[in-house]
Structure 1
Amino acid sequence: MISIDNLAVEFSGTALFSDVSFVINPTDKIALMGKNGAGKSTMMKIVAGRQNPTRGHVRAPKEAVIAYLPQHLLTEDNCTVFEEAAKAFKHVYDMRDQMEVLNKALETRTDYESDEYMSIIEQVSDLGEKYYALEDVNYDAEVEKALKGLGFRQDDFTRFTNEFSGGWRMRIELAKILLQKPDLILLDEPTNHIDIESVIWLEDFLVNKADAVMVISHDRAFIDNITNRTIEVTMGRIYDYKANYSHYLQLREDRRVHQIKAYQEQQKYIADNMAFIERFKGTYSKTNQVTSRERMLEKLQIIEIDEVDNSALKLSFPPAPRSGDYPVSVQNLTKKYDDVVVFSDANMSIKRGEKVSFVGRNGEGKSTMIKAILGQIDFEGECSLGHNVQVGYFAQNQAALLDNDLTVFQTVDEVAKGDARTGVKNILGRFMFKGDDIDKKVGVLSGGEKTRLAMVKLLLEPVNLLILDEPTNHLDLKSKDVLKEALKTFDGTLVLVSHDRDFLQGLSEKVFEFKEQRVIEHFETIDAFLERNRIKSIADINLMK
């Protein structure tokens, strides 16, 4: 059991939260929720021991292992993927290596009666007792299983970690955490950089193999599937629910209804007493009653109604200009990088107004196909855009491509044309950039703010082919819902790549699956495809156990 006692964090005299106390039990699966800026990540860092509170304590058993995966990793390593993941068992390997050194020393020494010789024997005995008391585990096999579950291929194991993107390095760090079998796993946005199959694998692991878990995530399906408890951080305090996210939303609404009712009753009570005081103030016979009521009102604790995050993205796509019947046409398309085949003989026809999803594990060619459609790479075969196709493209790293030295206003103003230039402030306001926000430098924005700003640029001109590659990374739940509804009403053609199952559901009527160097067309909704593959993926996961 891990106890959080009277935590408080203050910045320049302003409290982020105060007097926060709760207990993490051995099997709790906790979603840490709250609006951006409420203090979720700060609280998680304190529990992880990465940040000190202004006041309060985190108390855990001495032998407890708390593992933390931050939202952003800054590590750069020059060992192989397998070697880095195997560091999860460093303490085991260190014990084994130390025993070998000590045993070799015993083999070469002849001073059998010396104190030093006896000391080495004692060390070997103590280490051996600890080492052989460990569970009999094939550690190399465990490392391999975890890496494959998170999307790595066998030939990736010997590649150096600095060859991989930040998202893949995060998976390596996640593998190390999972292999340690910690008492508490702390995860801050763990699904932002992993594909659907890996998310399903991670869900299964956290539910069936992990002990206590605390997670911050904007992936509704993920947190619903893994959590049995929700802690909401709001207005400097917490509310603790024995419920998953969807149930918590209902309970939170019930709580606000009761708060509003109690607040209104209290306000009426205050008004009635104030009226009595005003009416009888100075009346000798009522002096004691007036004084009593004044004191009572002074001591009365005013009921607070929990704040609701009313900031919301206001998003609608301009009417799409009419394009040809087939905005995207691909025939016998093959793409190789040297001798590595990404996919071969791919065929694809996307009709005007059709909404399709590209799905598959990372590295199977989804983003490569998008680059081929946009004419950004060379390839074999044919790939063409139809008549009058006007493309709007949101890249997976679109937010990172913004100029950090420009302000929010300058970023939009430099690409706005015609009438849009006179309405830049209004456009930014629809995307939750108001007041002084528009003068902020891009470099100080959060990941979600950068994503919203990149989306503003996308909407400045009408398009009829929208290509979105992981558009929801760093967007909060409310913004994702607004984007989803806007895409449903978009009257152009949509090509969507996303690992977020809740976001994908109901958005496309056809699926192109990228798998084993092929592109497979499925004439079914994304909902049907995901359900069919969820069952298959879970069956595959169970075979790995």
Structure 2
Amino acid sequence: MIAVDNLAVEFSGDTLFSNVSFTINENDKIALMGKNGAGKSTMMKIIAGVQKATRGNVSTPKDAVIAYLPQHLLTDDDCTVMEEASKAFSTVLDMKAEMDRLNKELETRTDYESQEYMDIITKVTDIGEKFYAIEEVNIEEEVEKALRGLGFKRSDFNRPTSEFSGGWRMRIELAKILLKKPDLILLDEPTNHVDIESVIWLEDFLLNKAKAVIVISHDKAFIDNITNRTIEVTMGRIYDYKANYSHYLELRADRRSHQIKAYQEQQKFIADNQAFIDRFKGTYSKTNQVSSRERMLEKLEIIEIDEVDNSALALKFPPAPRSGDFPVKVKDLTKKYDDHTVFSNASMDIARGEKVSFVGRNGEGKSTMIKAILGEIEVEGDCELGHNVKVGYFAQNQAALLDPELTIFQTVDEVAKGDMRTQIKNILGRFMFSGDAIDKKVSVLSGGEKTRLAMVKLLLEPVNLLILDEPTNHLDIKSKDVLKEALQTYDGTLILVSHDRDFLQGLSKKVFEFKEKRVIEHFETIDAFLKRNRIENLKEIDLMKS
């Protein structure tokens, strides 16, 4: 059992949270929730031991192992997959290296009677006792077993980690976590930049292999599937629910309605007593009653109503100009990079007003197909846009393409045309940029703010073919919900690439699956596709492990 006791964090006199206490039991699967800036990642870093609290402490059993997967992976690019995964045994390897170094020094020294010589012997003995007390393992064999269990082939082991996508890099980090056999795993936004198959694998791992887990995530389906407890950080304190995310939302709404009722009753009680005090203050016969009620009001603890994040992304796409019957026509398309074939003989027709999803593992060609449709790369075969097609494209790295030296206002003013320039402040206000915030430089914005700003740029010109490549990365749950509602009412043609199952569900009626150098057309909703493939993918993963 790990105990969090009276944690408090203060920055420049402002309190992020205080007097936070809870216990983490074996096999707890905890979702850490709260609005952006509430202190979730800070709390996780303190539990991980990478940041210190202003007050309070985290008590862990002597031999407990805590593994932390940060929001931004820190995998070195100068290592191979095998070398990076072997870092799970860095403590053991460092101890052995130190023993070897000290023993070599003893071999070369001749000052057998000196204090230095005796100190080295003592040090070697101390390290040796710890080293030989650790269960002996064949490190290379254990690392290989973990990597192969996570889907890596032997041919991948000596490849640099820089050659792998975000999803596979996450698996390398998870291999290290698995090899450490931790008592607690801490995950901060683990599904960002990760393909659906990797997310499904991660769910299976956390449910069936891990002990205690704490996760921060904006992926509703993911946290609903893996958690059995929700800790909400709000207004500097926490609420602890023995429930998954969806049930927690119901319980939180119920809690807030009770708070509002209690607050209103207390305010009426205060007003009634204050009216009595005002009426009879100075009346000799009522002096004791007035004094008593004044003291009571002074000591009264005012009920607070938990804040609700009422900022909303008021998003509506402009009406789409009419295009031809088929905005996208692809026939026998092949793309190769030297000897590597991304996909071969792919064909697809996307009709006007159709909403389709591109799905598949990272590296299977989804973004490559988008580049082909946009005419950004050379391909073999036919790929053309239909009559009067106007494309709006949101790239996976769209937020990173913003000029960091421009302000929010300048970023939008650059692309606004005609009458739209007079509406810039109103448009930015709809995207939660208002007041002095519009003068902030892009360089100081969070990932979510940059993504919203990139969306503003996309909306300034009416388009009839909207291509969105991972648009929800860095968006919070509320922003994703509003974007999803806007896409459901969008009257143009939509091509959507996303790893977020909850976001995908209900959006498309056709699926193009990128798999094993092929593009397979499925005439089914994304909901039906995901339901069917969740079972298939988990079976495939089980085969990998055998």
| TM bucket, shorter chain | over 0.9
Match among 130, 134, 137 for residue 133 of structure 2: 130
Distance 1:50 1:273, change over 3 A: same
Structure 1 unpaired stretches of 5+: 109-114
Aligned-residue sequence identity (percent) comes to 79
Structure 2 CA distance for aligned equivalents of residues 72 and 338 of structure 1: 31
CA contact (8 A) 1:151 1:361 kept: no
For the pair 1:239 / 2:210, whether they are aligned, the reply is no
For the pair 1:257 / 2:257, whether they are aligned, the reply is yes
Structure 2 CA distance for aligned equivalents of residues 68 and 173 of structure 1: 9
CA contact (8 A) 1:509 1:525 kept: yes
Matched with 2:16 is 16
Structure 2 CA distance for aligned equivalents of residues 282 and 123 of structure 1: 80
For the pair 1:520 / 2:507, whether they are aligned, the reply is no
How much does 1:282 deviate?
1.8
How much does 1:312 deviate?
0.7
Deviations 1:35-73 (A, max 9, x none): 011111111111111111111111112222111122124
How much does 1:376 deviate?
0.5
How much does 1:330 deviate?
0.7
How much does 1:274 deviate?
1.1
How much does 1:139 deviate?
4.8
Tell me the SS of whatever aligns to 1:341: strand
The farther-off stretch of 323-332 and 65-74 is 65-74
How much does 1:177 deviate?
2.3
- Residue type at the aligned position of 1:256: R
Structure 2 CA distance for aligned equivalents of residues 122 and 19 of structure 1: 44
CA contact (8 A) 2:95 2:127 kept: no
Matched with 2:480 is 480
Map 1:116-515 onto structure 2 (within 5 A).
Answer: 126=129, 129-131=132-134, 133-134=135-136, 139-140=139-140, 142-144=142-144, 146-147=146-147, 152=152, 154-164=154-164, 168-515=168-515
Distance 1:418 1:145, change over 3 A: farther
Tell me the SS of whatever aligns to 2:502: helix
Structure 1 CA distance for aligned equivalents of residues 153 and 457 of structure 2: 37
Structure 1 CA distance for aligned equivalents of residues 4 and 126 of structure 2: 38
Structure 1 CA distance for aligned equivalents of residues 184 and 298 of structure 2: 45
Matched with 1:68 is 68
How much does 1:193 deviate?
1.6
Tell me the SS of whatever aligns to 1:6: strand
Deviations 1:475-511 (A, max 9, x none): 0000000011111111111111100011111111111
How much does 1:174 deviate?
3.4
Structure 2 unpaired stretches of 5+: 109-116
Matched with 2:112 is none
Distance 1:485 1:152, change over 3 A: farther
How much does 1:155 deviate?
3.4
Tell me the SS of whatever aligns to 1:524: coil
- Residue type at the aligned position of 2:512: F
Matched with 1:56 is 56
Structure 1 CA distance for aligned equivalents of residues 86 and 419 of structure 2: 58
Deviations 1:453-476 (A, max 9, x none): 001111110011111100000000
How much does 1:125 deviate?
7.7
The farther-off stretch of 245-254 and 182-191 is 182-191
How much does 1:121 deviate?
11
Matched with 1:111 is none
How much does 1:95 deviate?
6.1
Distance 1:144 1:394, change over 3 A: farther
Matched with 2:113 is none
Aligned length: 537
How much does 1:144 deviate?
4.3
Matched with 1:31 is 31
CA contact (8 A) 2:4 2:21 kept: yes
- Residue type at the aligned position of 2:200: I
How much does 1:417 deviate?
0.8
CA contact (8 A) 2:92 2:131 kept: no
The farther-off stretch of 400-409 and 150-159 is 150-159
What TM-score comes out, normalization by structure 1 length?
Answer: 0.92
- Residue type at the aligned position of 2:133: K
Deviations 1:237-292 (A, max 9, x none): 11111111101000000000100110111111111111211222222221111110
Structure 1 CA distance for aligned equivalents of residues 365 and 139 of structure 2: 32
Structure 1 CA distance for aligned equivalents of residues 154 and 462 of structure 2: 45
Structure 1 CA distance for aligned equivalents of residues 177 and 191 of structure 2: 15
